[in-house]
């Protein structure tokens, strides 16, 4: 009997497991099986049920909040379509947005409050991501930009789509809903492409990010013992960790959705090649950036009301971004940093152009672009110090500690103190080379790397994918004793 109970629990547990565990892939396999054996028009039911079980098994109480918020938006969207009076429409829209936004803020506060006690159990999985999608959906319905989904079950299948509840992306329901609720026929090439994307995501997360995390945790876990270049190395590793962790997670999510024939929006586009902070935000966390632009920055007036107002709008938008990330002052300061960078970049643009002309600097050369990318990288590092620190005071202390000239640590073996052995550093280095080569190919080719590989001969393709599988299997940091279950952006 005990064994039978345990066996039943197993099927609940596979929905709560991290997306790098065998449980997740087992669940994905089961869902694919049921999805493709059902008739086309009923396939969305698999998502409806999977979302319910997923939300329930992660947070037994949170599902009530989730259903309540989704029901409120669904109801409002349906009513908005029927009501003719603009005044009533505005009231319904404003009330629902305020209600859901307040719940989101309250839930994020509860996430932060360690002693929230029983109330903390009501925080649903992925609220930060699907709530933004809900608000955007309602705004689009209000503006008449999309037709509301009348079937509440289909609405739930779409709004709570289980892969995006992990770490996004923030989907635009008006664009994605139709894909989720319509049935997709099995497409071999698309299915393989999804699996390949998942594999690449696992490589970034388990091989690169988890190793970078060791260095980051060593330094930031005991920041008083480190100074000078140690801090900057750790912060650079944090940048790499964050990117590989988040984009790896997104690759797994997008790959998972692709297995069902669903194409979710991209969240990253080679952010390390950004030549300005503004460009960085068009390449980093694209869906959140797009949401903030469409539903905060532009409604505030965007750049249509003069420079002063534009700068104020930027500041507000990035403060909201900071608050969304953590709700504490340190994240708001991180957001302000990015706003200040953009404002300063805009204010000095003319002067910088004139300086280049005076000094006869060709802005189109590789060298100049590399310099621009390096500046963006460094400015990001400064901002990431806030992002990584527990509070503003600690961040400022970290800056003080970082102002020290100790270049000998690169030569006297001191880097061994950072938690990675020489062999582990070597694995990290080789993995980064693979990652950079792939990124480079991506940057020069209009097609995706996977489609380029698909165009190669079969032995080469197989050798490549099988090698990558064994690299991930062997050098990935997962399994007992590893902390690869969680993703940084899952906390937001």
Residues in touch with other proteins (CB under 8 A): 2-3, 6-7, 9-10, 13-14, 16-17, 21-23, 26, 188, 421, 423, 458, 462, 466, 469-470, 473-480
> Helix H segments across 113-160?
127-142, 152-159
The token pair at 473 is: 């299997």
Which residues, in sequence order, are CB contacts of 216 under 8 Å at separation 6+? 234, 237, 238, 241, 388
Residue 114's alpha-carbon distances to 96, 363, 431, 484, in angstroms, are 28, 50, 37, 22
Q: What count of other Cβ atoms lies within 10 Å of the Cβ of residue 482?
A: 12
Beta carbon of residue 199, minimum distance to other proteins (angstroms, whole number):
12
92-96: list long-range contacts, CB under 8 Å, 24+ apart: 93/138, 93/139, 93/142, 96/72, 96/138
Q: Which is nearer to other proteins, 20 or 276 (CB)?
A: 20
> Helix H segments across 389-421?
392-402
Give the whole-angstrom CA distance, residue 438 versus residue 93.
45
Give the alpha-carbon dihedral of 36, 37, 39, 41, to 10 degrees. Answer: -40
Q: Which is nearer to other proteins, 190 or 303 (CB)?
A: 190
Q: Which is nearer to other proteins, 42 or 462 (CB)?
A: 462
CB-neighbour burial class of residue 116 (10 A; exposed 0-12, middle 13-18, buried 19+): middle
Phi, psi for 211 (deg, rounded to 5)? -75, -45
Q: Which is nearer to other proteins, 335 or 476 (CB)?
A: 476
Beta carbon of residue 153, minimum distance to other proteins (angstroms, whole number):
29
Half-sphere exposure of 131 (CA within 13 A, CB side): 25
Beta carbon of residue 192, minimum distance to other proteins (angstroms, whole number):
9
Which residues, in sequence order, are CB contacts of 464 under 8 Å at separation 6+? 453, 456
Beta carbon of residue 11, minimum distance to other proteins (angstroms, whole number):
9
Q: Which is nearer to other proteins, 186 or 410 (CB)?
A: 186
Q: Which is nearer to other proteins, 286 or 472 (CB)?
A: 472
The token pair at 387 is: 């992002």
Q: Single out the residue of 125, 134, 160 nearest to residue 18, CA to CA.
A: 125
Beta carbon of residue 5, minimum distance to other proteins (angstroms, whole number):
9
Q: Which is nearer to other proteins, 316 or 469 (CB)?
A: 469
Give the whole-angstrom CA distance, residue 8 versus residue 364.
62
Beta carbon of residue 327, minimum distance to other proteins (angstroms, whole number):
30
Q: How far is CA 11 from the centre of its chain?
A: 27
Q: Which is nearer to other proteins, 101 or 469 (CB)?
A: 469
Beta carbon of residue 37, minimum distance to other proteins (angstroms, whole number):
17
Beta carbon of residue 42, minimum distance to other proteins (angstroms, whole number):
25
Beta carbon of residue 423, minimum distance to other proteins (angstroms, whole number):
6
Beta carbon of residue 247, minimum distance to other proteins (angstroms, whole number):
23
Beta carbon of residue 138, minimum distance to other proteins (angstroms, whole number):
37
Give the whole-angstrom CA distance, residue 128 versus residue 171.
12
Q: Which is nearer to other proteins, 17 or 312 (CB)?
A: 17
230-233: list long-range contacts, CB under 8 Å, 24+ apart: 230/406, 230/409, 230/414, 230/417, 230/418, 231/385, 231/398, 231/401, 231/402, 232/381, 232/402, 233/415, 233/418
Q: Which is nearer to other proteins, 444 or 458 (CB)?
A: 458
| 185 and 163 Cβ atoms separated by less than 8 Å | no
Q: Which is nearer to other proteins, 162 or 318 (CB)?
A: 162
| 38 and 46 Cβ atoms separated by less than 8 Å | yes
Beta carbon of residue 454, minimum distance to other proteins (angstroms, whole number):
12
Q: Which is nearer to other proteins, 375 or 469 (CB)?
A: 469
């Amino acid at each position: 009997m005990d064994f039978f109970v345990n066996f039943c629990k197993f099927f609940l547990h596979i929905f709560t497991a991290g997306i790098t565990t065998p449980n997740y892939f087992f669940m994905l396999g089961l869902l694919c099986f049921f999805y493709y054996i059902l008739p086309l028009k009923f396939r969305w039911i698999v998502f409806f049920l999977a979302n319910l079980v997923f939300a329930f098994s992660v947070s037994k109480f949170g599902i009530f909040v989730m259903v309540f918020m989704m029901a409120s938006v669904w109801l409002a969207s349906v009513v908005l379509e029927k009501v003719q009076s603009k005044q009533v429409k505005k009231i319904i829209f404003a009330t629902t947005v305020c209600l859901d936004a307040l719940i989101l803020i309250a839930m994020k506060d509860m996430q932060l409050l360690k002693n929230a006690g029983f109330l903390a159990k009501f925080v649903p999985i992925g609220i930060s991501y699907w709530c933004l999608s809900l608000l955007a959906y309602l705004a689009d319905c209000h503006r008449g930009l999309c037709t509301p989904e009348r079937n509440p079950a289909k609405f739930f299948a779409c709004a709570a789509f289980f892969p995006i509840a992990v770490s996004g992306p923030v989907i635009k329901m008006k664009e994605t809903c139709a894909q989720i609720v319509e049935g997709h026929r099995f497409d071999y090439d698309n299915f393989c492409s999804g699996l390949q994307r998942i594999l690449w995501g696992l490589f970034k997360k388990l091989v690169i990010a988890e190793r970078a995390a060791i260095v980051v945790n060593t330094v930031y876990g005991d920041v008083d013992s480190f100074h000078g270049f140690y801090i900057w190395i750790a912060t650079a590793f944090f940048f790499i960790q964050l990117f590989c962790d988040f984009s790896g997670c997104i690759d797994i999510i997008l790959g998972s959705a692709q297995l069902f024939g669903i194409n979710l929006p991209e969240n990253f586009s080679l952010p390390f090649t950004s030549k300005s902070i503004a460009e960085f935000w068009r390449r980093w966390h694209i869906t959140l950036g797009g949401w903030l632009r469409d539903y905060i920055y532009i409604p505030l007036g965007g750049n249509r009301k003069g420079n002063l107002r534009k700068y104020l709008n930027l500041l507000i938008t990035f403060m909201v971004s900071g608050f969304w990330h953590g709700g504490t002052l340190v994240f708001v300061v991180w957001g302000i940093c990015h706003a200040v960078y953009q404002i300063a970049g805009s204010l000095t643009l003319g002067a910088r152009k004139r300086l280049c002309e005076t000094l006869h600097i060709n802005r189109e050369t590789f060298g100049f672009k590399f310099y621009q990318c390096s500046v963006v990288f460094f400015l990001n590092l400064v901002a990431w110090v806030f992002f990584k620190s527990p509070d503003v005071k600690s961040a400022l202390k970290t800056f003080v500690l970082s102002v020290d000239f100790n270049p000998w640590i690169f030569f006297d073996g001191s880097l061994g103190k950072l938690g990675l052995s020489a062999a582990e550093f070597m694995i990290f280095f080789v993995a980064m080379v693979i990652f950079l080569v792939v990124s480079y190919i991506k940057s020069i080719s209009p097609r995706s790397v996977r489609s380029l590989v698909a165009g190669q001969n079969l032995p080469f393709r197989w050798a490549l994918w099988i090698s990558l599988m064994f690299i991930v299997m062997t050098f990935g940091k997962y399994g007992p004793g590893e902390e690869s279950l969680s993703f940084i952006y899952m906390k937001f």
